[in-house]
Structure 1
Amino acid sequence: MTIFQGDINRNTVILRLFLLSGTSLAFAFFIFTNSYEDSFYSYLIFTALIIALVVINLLSLRVFTQSRKDVINKVNADNMVTLLDNISDICCICDKDFRFIYWNKAAEEISGYKFEEIAGKRFDDLFKSASTPERDKLIGQMIMEKRKSLTFSYEAFMKGILNQFEITVFPSGDNYIYLVRNITDKLLIEQQNNRTNKILEATSDLVAMVNVQGQNVYMNNAGVRLLDEKNDDSNVRRSLVEMHPPDVYKYLITEAIPYALKHGTWQGETRFITSEGKTIPVSQVIIAHLDSQGHLEYISTIARDISKEKQAEEELKKINFELDHFVYRASHDLRAPLTSIRGLVEISLEERDTQKLKQYMSFVGDSAKKLDNYIINLLSISRNDRLEMEQRPIDFSILIQETIEELRFLKNADRINISWDISCEGQFCSDLIRLKIIFKNIISNAIKYQRVNITNSFLSINISGDPQLIRAVFTDNGIGIQEDSKERIFDMFYRGTELSDGSGLGLYIVKSVIEKLKGRIQLHSKISEGTTTIIEIPGYSMKKDTDQEL
């Protein structure tokens, strides 16, 4: 509107100039026509009038134009002051000596100084800083490079408190316009955010944030690793639906999140789904973040993988079940021979026949032996769970000979041929006590469950390997194991044949001990053909143990 009005004023002046010029010409023409007798003077007068009128009109136009510029400058200055007074940051104008000549309202509110208090003072008097030479150097470069503005950081004391400022300088003639923004709080918030981010990235728990649309907008490194995510936008931003199984998602939407909205937080056990489709049980906390109007802004969640705890819980349930079963079976199996012994003793007290007494005592001895074997097996189980590993070099030949010697009084031990072949390269080291338990149970089974209707019963033992791993193969031609018993043959108290008078703990103990040694066992058997038992046990480096002790 101002520009348009200015054009009208300029046109008016031009029109006035033409009118005045025309009037002047008409007047000159009148004089000329009435003074034709002295034409030379008439021409002089005519020319002088024309020149005078043009000069007068030009001077009028200049005066008018300068007046218009003054009005525009005043209007612009008033508008500039109004604009600067409405800026929320400190805005000041300094002269070439960096002395204040203007101080906006925000500056008065932030600094606490009225303009009258700082007028004429230097910028450094208010913003005391050791970086003044650096500032002057930057401003000098700006002037030399004829740049329109310069922005730099400035650390200074204001009211005795060290503050961080971001300053933008605009050259304006011989003056400088300073736009000063106090970024102390902003930097503190950034530092706090950086510390928080470092904590979030260092924690081993999943931390994630989900927006109101259910999209995952943040996940820390622990969460990325837990859910097998690729660290890019396409995978990290999986939705809440994709991160949970359907039943869990339904529960979160209908129960957990509404509870968090009402009470602030919710805590419980849920499950996540990895990008590969694996389900992971977690202990999860959901926090609802609301805005000032009480509307949901976003949801943050913290989740801890409890797979090991769940596995331990299942193992504990299994152990408790086995313990209950063990107590029941152990009490029954311990009580049976004791009851037998007690009954035999009562009969013996009334018996006078010496031969019968000897027979009764033989039965008592068998029951006591059975009880002793049972107790030995129980001690083997306890020893395997309780004792620490005791690694030592193993001589398998001596181990087999000692085991055979201990079992030589078993029934029919003298009618089975036991042979062995050992081809180990280097020194194998392991726990001798546990190896003895394994070898004793396997060899004793071959003796007890041989086929008595044949004359060539045998057990061959083949051991091969190196210091890292040994493989022992036990092959006999005994009665074998029925097909439907193979799956349960390693269960506690399971007896694979009716001919067994044992505790049903032998192969359970063997498998438990082998697992303790980080090994594995396989068993192949056919009825009336025999059984092949294969065990593999990793070795233990004595050098490694010595290095660890050093």
Structure 2
Amino acid sequence: MASLGQLTAGIAHEINNPINFVSSNITPLKRDIKDIMEVIDFYRESGEKEFKPETKKEAKKLEEDLELEYVLEEVDQLLKGMEDGAKRTVEIVKGLRLFSRVDEQDVKKVDLHDGINSTIILLNSSIPGKIRIIREFGELPMVECLAGKINQVFMNIINNAVHALSDHMEKIPDPVITIRTKSLGDYVKIEIEDNGPGMPEHVKQRIFEPFFTTKAVGKGTGLGLSIVYSIIENHKGTLEVLTEEGQGTTFIISLPVYQNAPKYD
């Protein structure tokens, strides 16, 4: 996982430079096109007054052949698309950088909300549009943890919630994943709840076992929640699941605010 984190961080860094170049060039490009349009408008107005009828006819024909009105409209749409695409890519790169956090060996104070948000950004393309993500974030202190590992926890649990909802979309009129955070003094609590099909008791009892999976062959390793459980345990936290068949599922993560550092430094 550390190697994967380093690879992800490296890719994010490499993408960052060209996308910044594209982003920073869009505004001056829009300004330049606006200037060119002013010149075109000036020529059009002057031409109406000063061109001979034959020249006006030729100019009109040229505009029609080139579909000038359509071209100008398309330039506008292309620039908007480039701007939106660049912003989205910047968001993804930021998400990758936050998610990969190559400080795997160092416990550091981190903002857990950044980790949750970056995870949602990275999962965005695989979340069906019908699924709503609701964030009910409380005021959280900075939490000492291995950021990359905790982001792995968020990724796994949110991804499982997405799959639970996606596989039963026809039976759920309003599929929702709700993420709540709250501070409890020396601990913080993160709840990830879905209104999916829930789990029967015999499945609930085994979900943290290595290699146990309810997915079809080739769809899952059965290691995800087992690794998640180990990560939370190694952080001196707790992980519990509340679920009932037909009533959705809630994963509740409790993490201590402090790991190794003294409370008052």
Structure 2 length-normalised TM: 0.54
* SS at 2:169 equivalent: coil
> Which amino acid is the alignment partner of residue 452 of structure 1?
M
Report whether the alignment pairs 1:423 with 2:133. no
* TM alignment of 1:282-321, pairs within 5 A: none
Partner of 1:524: 242
Cα distance change on mapping 1:392 and 1:521 into 2, 3 Å: same
> 2:176·2:194 contact (CA, 8 Å) conserved in 1?
yes
Partner of 1:433: 148
> 2:164·2:196 contact (CA, 8 Å) conserved in 1?
yes
Unaligned runs of 5+ residues in structure 2 are 1-99
Partner of 1:493: 211
Partner of 1:444: 159
Q: CA deviation at 1:495?
A: 0.7
* SS at 1:449 equivalent: helix
> 1:391·1:540 contact (CA, 8 Å) conserved in 2?
no
Give the ranges of 4+ consecutive aligned residues of structure 1 lying more than 4 Å apart after TM superposition: 497-500
> 2:140·2:188 contact (CA, 8 Å) conserved in 1?
no
* SS at 1:409 equivalent: helix
The whole-number CA distance in structure 1 between the counterparts of 2:260 and 2:226 is: 29
Partner of 1:472: 190
Report whether the alignment pairs 1:395 with 2:131. no
> Which amino acid is the alignment partner of residue 254 of structure 2?
E
* SS at 1:402 equivalent: helix
* SS at 2:116 equivalent: helix
Which digits, 9 at most, give the CA deviation of each residue in 1:215-239, with x for residues without a partner? xxxxxxxxxxxxxxxxxxxxxxxxx
> Which amino acid is the alignment partner of residue 223 of structure 2?
L
Cα distance change on mapping 1:546 and 1:487 into 2, 3 Å: same
Q: CA deviation at 1:395?
A: 1.9
Which digits, 9 at most, give the CA deviation of each residue in 1:15-47, with x for residues without a partner? xxxxxxxxxxxxxxxxxxxxxxxxxxxxxxxxx
Cα distance change on mapping 1:416 and 1:405 into 2, 3 Å: same
Cα distance change on mapping 1:488 and 1:425 into 2, 3 Å: closer
Q: Tell me which of the two structures has the higher relative contact order, counting C-alpha pairs closer than 8 angstroms and 6 or more residues apart.
A: 2
Cα distance change on mapping 1:507 and 1:426 into 2, 3 Å: closer
The whole-number CA distance in structure 2 between the counterparts of 1:403 and 1:509 is: 17
Report whether the alignment pairs 1:407 with 2:123. yes
Q: CA deviation at 1:407?
A: 1.0
> 1:428·1:468 contact (CA, 8 Å) conserved in 2?
no
> Which amino acid is the alignment partner of residue 471 of structure 1?
K
Q: CA deviation at 1:467?
A: 6.2
* SS at 1:462 equivalent: strand
The whole-number CA distance in structure 2 between the counterparts of 1:514 and 1:541 is: 12
The whole-number CA distance in structure 1 between the counterparts of 2:174 and 2:130 is: 8
Q: CA deviation at 1:464?
A: 0.7
Cα distance change on mapping 1:507 and 1:542 into 2, 3 Å: closer
Q: CA deviation at 1:500?
A: 8.4
Cα distance change on mapping 1:477 and 1:498 into 2, 3 Å: farther
* TM alignment of 1:273-352, pairs within 5 A: none
> 1:424·1:470 contact (CA, 8 Å) conserved in 2?
no
Which digits, 9 at most, give the CA deviation of each residue in 1:293-332, with x for residues without a partner? xxxxxxxxxxxxxxxxxxxxxxxxxxxxxxxxxxxxxxxx
Q: CA deviation at 1:497?
A: 4.9
* SS at 2:124 equivalent: coil
Cα distance change on mapping 1:531 and 1:403 into 2, 3 Å: same
Partner of 1:515: 233
Cα distance change on mapping 1:534 and 1:499 into 2, 3 Å: farther
Q: CA deviation at 1:493?
A: 1.0
Structure 2 residue corresponding to 1:484, chosen from 192, 198, 202: 202
Which digits, 9 at most, give the CA deviation of each residue in 1:107-134, with x for residues without a partner? xxxxxxxxxxxxxxxxxxxxxxxxxxxx
Cα distance change on mapping 1:449 and 1:398 into 2, 3 Å: same
The whole-number CA distance in structure 1 between the counterparts of 2:195 and 2:226 is: 22
> 2:111·2:141 contact (CA, 8 Å) conserved in 1?
no
Partner of 1:505: 223
Unaligned runs of 5+ residues in structure 1 are 1-379, 381-386
Structure showing greater radius of gyration is 1
Q: CA deviation at 1:546?
A: 9.2
> 1:427·1:466 contact (CA, 8 Å) conserved in 2?
no
Q: CA deviation at 1:413?
A: 3.3
> Which amino acid is the alignment partner of residue 493 of structure 1?
F
* SS at 1:532 equivalent: strand
Partner of 2:262: 544
Partner of 2:56: none
Which digits, 9 at most, give the CA deviation of each residue in 1:431-484, with x for residues without a partner? 211110110001000111103112310111111115621111111111221221
Cα distance change on mapping 1:425 and 1:501 into 2, 3 Å: closer
> 2:177·2:192 contact (CA, 8 Å) conserved in 1?
yes
* SS at 1:540 equivalent: coil
Cα RMSD (Å): 2.6
* TM alignment of 1:83-232, pairs within 5 A: none
**Identity across matched positions, percent:** 29
Cα distance change on mapping 1:395 and 1:536 into 2, 3 Å: same
Structure 1 length-normalised TM: 0.27
The whole-number CA distance in structure 2 between the counterparts of 1:478 and 1:534 is: 16
